[in-house]
């Protein structure tokens, strides 16, 4: 019999029951919740007269719908305030740990899980948010779910879920200077398209992936969903174990040693077979940027928007619609376009390493006059560390506006909206029409690219400045 | 959510011939501040449907009186993006019972099924055919028969089978719900926790 993939091993170890010709009953180790996708789930279980089945397995924080200024004051927007208060009430009533707005652990769910050591190898994790795939960087099976499924987990700590197919994406070789994890994943998605991963769970492997820091691996796994995949994971290794060591909720002392022994076994067997396998060469990857309105529409910054003749017939309408929305022409070159906003933040690139990259680049420089630059740390801990390392000061001196932690302009549920028609370069993960505010136009890129553009005011390949 | 039983639908259809319709288009994030499941239909496809002054955009299909019905026919990769179930609620609340496409994003598919909306995945050719017939005749009747797993164009008689796993089919036909199913397994779940 062929060996098992890492995904199979974790999934199979969590199957409580199987329905013939139907989904599996999957046990969930950790459940993260936030204010936007949980209220209807709490209402659902309460309507059935139920309590949360395993409150200790759920952790909550508000992130999507919160202001990023004056967080110590009452939230001004009435609906947002109501939703955030609802989360507090629900958590209190059901005995769920909540890191509220004033708590030092508050932040974007996918940033705080790893930084607090909640996310650990071999776990199953879910959250009512598609970027739950981020946690796969630790060798866990983590994926986003809908609110009915949040309700299932609250009620039974399980969900019904069909087992996805398995894909492996190998990136071998060495990444060149100026190329980051974000470029790697934008490159992969540009090759796979925004639907190429649908039905699959991806394992990322190869020497280029191994060489990434945990932050970089999180960036890669985070955007798995942008290829349509349910999630992505990377086998844990020394980099993983080192990152986890000493974190708030990580196992300590001999428990940690025991855990590492177990975690070391978490890898795909040599003879395991995947349903699909893709191979990329790290040397082909350059700094990337998107030109259209889905994350699959990415190109090398140094190149051009593809000509219409290069687009598959079935994609043609979407392509034309995208260019019309973005105000771009087929075949146009990317470099030199004037940009209005730079947004550094989100669960893709709002971690301390990302802020360091930006600070390193802009140190002693000033942002261009035409640019409004926002930096939004992914969590209170990131914010604190940025203050301690002097990053905050560097960024402020360069003319960047620092905001308080939250999802912010990534989805523009709060006041952090890119105005209609304005062009933004964002380190987040989605460039959908209106994602950053009605009529806003978004181009996705790495923190280094964003920093370079903030300084020059136009699209530029950061490699030319290194 | 326990939903109405779903068996057989015969209706004219609304054609949305656009690919990669993402969840931010189905229901923009700024409408996700509600804490109940109701009322999202009003804002379905909000920014395609209304201009900045909240006036209906004449060129969008939901504003075109020619097209009505409980079946939405959409281009490939419908529902990509966010896990927000609000997208499925909006589709349902607006009055659609079926979405037909040649490809659905996984999470949207689950969310739709959990809300009594049937995602019918057809071949690219059959999808083209449906769009073609509706374009020729906006009164084209589409039949979706869940029992037989068939989608039929009534006038031309052209049809195709679609897949659905038998568990989900049972749930829809009977109006069952996953949580009831899971609640019956509580002892088994507790035993599983013990054995870990
Ligand atoms: S930062 Fe953006 S992508 Fe990440 S959880 Fe928040 S809204 Fe979603």
Q: Which two tokens stand for residue A413?
A: 């549920």
How many other CB atoms are there within 10 angstroms of residue A465's CB atom?
13
Q: Which two tokens stand for residue A357?
A: 């990259």
According to DSSP, the residues that pair with B56 across neighbouring strands are: B50
A173 with A234, same domain: the answer is yes
Asked, for residue A292, whether it belongs to a domain, the answer is no
A252 with A361, same domain: the answer is no
A149 with A211, same domain: the answer is yes
A449 with A382, same domain: the answer is yes
Give the number of domains in chain A: 2
**Nearest-CA residue for atom 1 of ligand 1:** A346
Are the beta carbons of B110 and A157 separated by less than 8 Å? no
Are the beta carbons of B193 and A25 separated by less than 8 Å? no
- Alpha-carbon distance of B112 to B99, in angstroms, equals 9
- Quote the domain boundaries for residue A27: 1-286
Q: Which residues of A touch B82 (CB under 8 A)?
A: 129-130, 144, 430
Single out the residue in A251, A286, A321 at which a domain terminates. Answer: A286
Q: Could you tell me which chain B residue has the CA closest to the CA of A228?
A: B105
**Top mutation candidate among A36, A62, A111, A131 for ligand 1, by most atoms within 8 Å of CB:** A131
A456 with A381, same domain: the answer is yes
Q: Which two tokens stand for residue A52?
A: 């949360």
ipTM over 0.90: yes
Interface of A with B in 179-198 (CB under 8 A): 194-195, 198
Q: Could you tell me which chain A residue has the CA closest to the CA of B128?
A: A314
Q: Are A137 and A121 in contact (CB under 8 A)?
A: no
Q: Quick one: pLDDT at residue A143?
A: 98
- Alpha-carbon distance of B100 to B78, in angstroms, equals 9
What is the three-class DSSP state of B168?
helix
Q: Quick one: pLDDT at residue B2?
A: 47
- Alpha-carbon distance of A426 to A440, in angstroms, equals 12
Q: Which residues of A touch B77 (CB under 8 A)?
A: 194-195, 198, 228
Are the beta carbons of A25 and B185 separated by less than 8 Å? yes
Q: Quick one: pLDDT at residue B3?
A: 62
Q: Quick one: pLDDT at residue B50?
A: 97
pLDDT along chain B (196 residues), means of 10: 78 96 96 94 97 94 97 96 96 98 95 95 97 97 98 97 94 90 96 94
Which atom, in ligand 1's list, is nearest to the CA of A378? 1
Phi, psi of A52 (to 5 degrees): -65, 130
Can you give the three-state secondary structure of chain A, one letter per residue?
Answer: CCCCCHHHHHHHCCEEEECCCCCEEEECCEEEECCCCCHHHHHHHHHCCCCCCCHHHEEECCCCCCCCCCCCCCCCCHHHHHHHHHHHHHHHHHCCEECCCCCCCCECHHHHHHHCCCCCCCCEEEECCHHHHHHHHHCCEEEECCHHHHHHHHHHCEEEECCCEEEEEEEECCCCCCCCHHHHHHHHHHHHCCCCCCCEEEEEECHHHHCCCHHHHHHHHHHHHHHCCCEEECCCCHHHHHHHCCCCCCCCHHHHHHHHHHHCCCCCCCCCCCCEEEEEEHHHCCCEEECCCCCCCEEECCCECCCHHHCCHHHHHHHHHHHHHHCCCCCCECCCCECCEEEECHHHHCCHHHHHHHHHHHCCCCCCCCCEEEECCCEHHHHHHHHHCCHHHHHHHCCCEECCCCCHHHCCCCCCCCCCCCEEEECCCCCCCCCCCCCCEEEECCHHHHHHHHHHCECCCHHHHC
Q: Which two tokens stand for residue A333?
A: 């070159």
Asked, for residue A366, whether it belongs to a domain, the answer is yes
Asked, for residue A123, whether it belongs to a domain, the answer is yes
Asked, for residue A411, whether it belongs to a domain, the answer is yes
The nearest CA of chain B is from the CA of A128 a distance in Å of 6
- Alpha-carbon distance of A271 to A224, in angstroms, equals 24
What is the three-class DSSP state of B51?
coil
Q: Does A67 touch chain B (CB under 8 A)?
A: no
Q: Which residues of B touch A411 (CB under 8 A)?
A: 24, 29
A343 with A199, same domain: the answer is no
A237 with A362, same domain: the answer is no
A240 with A346, same domain: the answer is no
Q: Could you tell me which chain B residue has the CA closest to the CA of A429?
A: B81
Q: Could you tell me which chain B residue has the CA closest to the CA of A295?
A: B81
Q: Are A381 and A108 in contact (CB under 8 A)?
A: no
When scoring B85, B87, B92, B109 by the number of chain A Cβ atoms within 10 A, the one with the most, hence best to mutate, is B85
A127 with A57, same domain: the answer is yes
A275 with A343, same domain: the answer is no
Phi, psi of A424 (to 5 degrees): -120, 140
Which residue, chain included where needed, has tokens 């506006």? A401
pLDDT 10s digits, A365-401: 999 999 999 999 999 999 999 999 999 999 999 999 9
Asked, for residue A81, whether it belongs to a domain, the answer is yes
Q: Domain holding A394: CATH number? A: 3.30.499.10
A303, exposed or middle or buried, with CB in 10 Å at 0-12, 13-18, 19+? middle
- Alpha-carbon distance of A80 to A70, in angstroms, equals 14
Cα-to-chain-centroid distance, residue A117:
17
pLDDT 10s digits, A312-366: 887 888 899 999 999 999 999 999 999 999 999 999 999 999 999 999 999 999 9
Single out the residue in A286, A319, A340 at which a domain terminates. Answer: A286
Asked, for residue A205, whether it belongs to a domain, the answer is yes
Q: Does A89 touch chain B (CB under 8 A)?
A: no
Regions of chain A short of the pLDDT cut 50: none
Single out the residue in A229, A259, A286 at which a domain terminates. Answer: A286
Q: Which two tokens stand for residue B39?
A: 């009322």
A156 with A10, same domain: the answer is yes
pTM equals 0.96
């Amino acid at each position: 019999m062929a060996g098992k993939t890492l995904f199979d091993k974790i999934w199979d170890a969590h199957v409580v029951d199987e329905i013939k010709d139907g989904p599996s009953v999957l046990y969930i180790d950790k459940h993260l919740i936030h204010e936007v996708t949980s209220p209807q789930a709490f209402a659902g279980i309460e309507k059935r007269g139920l309590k949360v089945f395993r409150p200790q397995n759920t952790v909550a924080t508000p992130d999507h719908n919160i202001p990023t200024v004056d967080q110590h004051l009452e939230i001004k927007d009435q609906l947002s305030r109501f939703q955030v208060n609802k989360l507090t009430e629900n958590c209190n009533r059901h005995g769920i740990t909540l890191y509220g707005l004033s708590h030092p652990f508050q932040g974007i769910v996918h940033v705080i899980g790893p930084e607090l050591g909640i996310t650990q190898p071999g776990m199953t994790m879910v959250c009512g948010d598609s970027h739950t795939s981020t946690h796969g960087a630790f060798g866990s099976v983590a994926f986003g779910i809908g609110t009915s499924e949040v309700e299932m987990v609250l009620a039974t700590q399980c969900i019904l879920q069909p087992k996805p197919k398995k894909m492996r994406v190998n990136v071998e070789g060495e990444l060149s200077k100026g190329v980051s994890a974000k470029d790697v994943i934008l490159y992969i998605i540009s090759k796979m398209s925004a639907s190429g991963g649908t039905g699959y769970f991806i394992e990322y492997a190869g020497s280029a992936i191994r060489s990434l820091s945990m932050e970089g691996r999180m960036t890669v796994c985070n955007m798995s969903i942008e290829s349509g995949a349910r999630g992505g994971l990377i086998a844990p290794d020394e980099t993983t174990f080192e990152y986890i060591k000493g974190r708030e909720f990580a196992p300590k002392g001999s428990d940690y040693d025991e855990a590492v022994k177990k975690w070391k076994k978490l890898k795909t067997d040599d003879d395991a077979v995947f349903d699909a396998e893709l191979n990329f060469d790290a040397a082909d990857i350059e700094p990337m940027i998107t030109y259209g309105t889905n994350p699959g529409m990415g190109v090398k910054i140094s190149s051009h928007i593809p000509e219409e003749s290069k687009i598959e017939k079935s994609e043609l309408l979407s392509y034309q619609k995208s260019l019309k929305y973005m105000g771009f022409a087929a075949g146009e070159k990317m470099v030199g376009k004037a940009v209005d906003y730079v947004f550094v933040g989100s669960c893709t690139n709002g971690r301390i390493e990302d802020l360091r990259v930006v600070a390193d680049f802009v140190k002693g420089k000033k942002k261009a006059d035409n640019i409004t630059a926002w930096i939004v740390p992914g969590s209170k801990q990131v914010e604190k560390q940025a203050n301690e390392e002097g990053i905050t000061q560097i960024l402020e001196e360069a003319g960047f506006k620092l905001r308080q932690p939250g999802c912010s302009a990534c989805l523009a549920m709060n006041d952090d909206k890119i105005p209609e028609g304005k062009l933004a370069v964002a380190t987040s993960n989605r460039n959908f029409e209106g994602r950053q505010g009605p009529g806003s136009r978004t181009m996705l890129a790495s923190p280094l690219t964003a920093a370079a553009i903030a300084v020059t005011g136009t699209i530029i390949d950061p490699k030319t400045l290194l | 959510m326990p939903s109405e039983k779903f068996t057989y639908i015969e209706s004219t259809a609304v054609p949305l011939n656009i690919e990669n319709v993402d969840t931010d288009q189905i229901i923009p994030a700024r409408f996700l501040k509600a804490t109940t499941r109701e009322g999202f239909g009003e804002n379905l496809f909000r920014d395609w449907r209304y201009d900045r002054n909240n006036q209906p955009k004449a060129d969008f299909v939901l504003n075109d009186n020619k097209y009505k019905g409980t079946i939405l026919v959409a281009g490939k990769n419908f529902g990509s993006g966010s896990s927000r179930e609000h997208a499925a609620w909006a589709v349902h609340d607006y009055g659609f019972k079926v979405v037909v496409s040649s490809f659905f994003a996984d999470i949207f598919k689950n969310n739709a099924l959990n809300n009594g909306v049937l995602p019918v995945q057809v071949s690219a050719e059959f999808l083209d055919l449906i769009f073609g017939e509706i374009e020729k005749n906006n009164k084209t009747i589409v039949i979706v028969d869940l029992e037989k797993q068939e989608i039929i164009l009534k006038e031309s008689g052209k049809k195709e089978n679609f897949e659905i796993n038998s568990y989900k089919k049972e749930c829809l036909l009977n109006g069952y719900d996953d949580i009831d199913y899971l609640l019956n397994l509580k002892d088994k779940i507790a035993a599983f926790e013990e054995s870990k």
